[in-house]
Structure 1
């Protein structure tokens, strides 16, 4: 299972030691660490990135940090904050990641000024492995699975817009002799344009998600090459799980694109 991990530590030294423990778990094959960052919340409330390793699989943790920073009021040194529309961008970033409001609420509550945390995205079967390492350095862990409700929402949006286009076209056809004909035609065109934009968003999401999941699969295969016999089976199962997740998520978006094409071609 791929999780977002938020590990809160009392200070920077503990956070760095905790991250090193994550990396050792990765080397041993006990987890697969896809990307990570160490952040510290300044006394002014903004986030400072102390260490960041997100390439080539950086969309998860990077967007999580950016979204959280936007809600806090800024990300020092990167120009992300409320002054540049960060609140709206933060909500969108976090929505697109599929994180729950409970997870976000916990981060906002726990990451108070002066605290240091590790943000990570990892595949892990047993949460106790990470939790025990973090607790050994005086830290605590909050985690959340990456849900697929963004794919569900994309499809719901396309279905709704498809119905709206059909309704506006039907209304236009039934009332074409009235004075509001031109205005009604403009409404039809706007509905069609909204549907086209939704289809483009879906296509972009496919490209972004495929790039990210393919990079994760590569990381898992690379890890498999050096894994001990005891951990190979677990890594192979992570690969199967990620491939299954990829197939299911992409199927939802491809179905949304199919529905959009049907409406635009009608």
Structure 2
């Protein structure tokens, strides 16, 4: 069973940085993700989702390949490529893999304008090692489907940043 985590960050850059960190942990087999999406709320309140995979582009590429092959059979490869790419892009546009886009948009409405959030669909993880790597990165847990123990451990790991930054902020200039 997968768990969903939504963490708010002060900027899109910070959310992207943490997504890259989590994806590198996935390469080390510390975490297995189903999806990792950065949601950005601009100053006008509009939500933009930065998906890992652009499904429309992937569909267009696949459709172009198949369209070309079928076009060769009918001696019209350019027409086949164009029709395949168009139909693939349309199919990709309506395909939703991972976390439901509407759910992410609804949840991201809780963000302040000019901030961003990171949605993670976690299939499996080595909790102690992942939390140790996330310790001190900042961010606020907005929603999670973790049990209370994991959720409080995640909140504590992220909060370490605020506790460590306070002495620096209050030091005389």
Q: Which residue of 1 aligns with 2:103?
A: 67
Q: Which residue of 2 aligns with 1:2?
A: 2
Is the Cα–Cα contact under 8 Å of residues 5 and 119 in structure 2 kept in the other structure?
Answer: yes
* TM-score using structure 1 length: 0.34
Distance in 2 of aligned mates of 1:9 and 1:135: 14
CA 125–47 in structure 1, closer or farther in 2 if over 3 Å, else same: same
Q: Which has the higher helix share?
A: 1
Unaligned runs of 5+ in 2: 59-94, 147-173
Distance in 2 of aligned mates of 1:132 and 1:58: 32
Q: Which has the higher strand share?
A: 2
Is the Cα–Cα contact under 8 Å of residues 17 and 137 in structure 1 kept in the other structure?
Answer: no
CA 135–117 in structure 1, closer or farther in 2 if over 3 Å, else same: farther
CA 67–121 in structure 1, closer or farther in 2 if over 3 Å, else same: same
Is the Cα–Cα contact under 8 Å of residues 8 and 117 in structure 1 kept in the other structure?
Answer: yes
Is the Cα–Cα contact under 8 Å of residues 30 and 130 in structure 2 kept in the other structure?
Answer: no
* TM-score using structure 2 length: 0.50
Is the Cα–Cα contact under 8 Å of residues 10 and 138 in structure 1 kept in the other structure?
Answer: no
Distance in 2 of aligned mates of 1:26 and 1:17: 14
Q: Which has the higher contact order (CA 8 A, sep 6+)?
A: 2
CA RMSD of aligned residues (A): 2.8
Count of residue pairs the alignment pairs up: 106
How far residue 15 of structure 1 moved from its aligned partner, in angstroms, is 1.0
Q: Which residue of 1 aligns with 2:28?
A: 28
Instruction: Name the SS for the 1:59 alignment partner.
Output: coil
Distance in 2 of aligned mates of 1:21 and 1:13: 12
Q: Which residue of 1 aligns with 2:144?
A: 143
Q: Which residue of 1 aligns with 2:52?
A: 53
Unaligned runs of 5+ in 1: 72-103, 146-266
Distance in 1 of aligned mates of 2:118 and 2:5: 8
CA 133–11 in structure 1, closer or farther in 2 if over 3 Å, else same: farther
How far residue 144 of structure 1 moved from its aligned partner, in angstroms, is 1.4
Task: Give 1 or 2 for the bigger CA radius of gyration.
Answer: 1
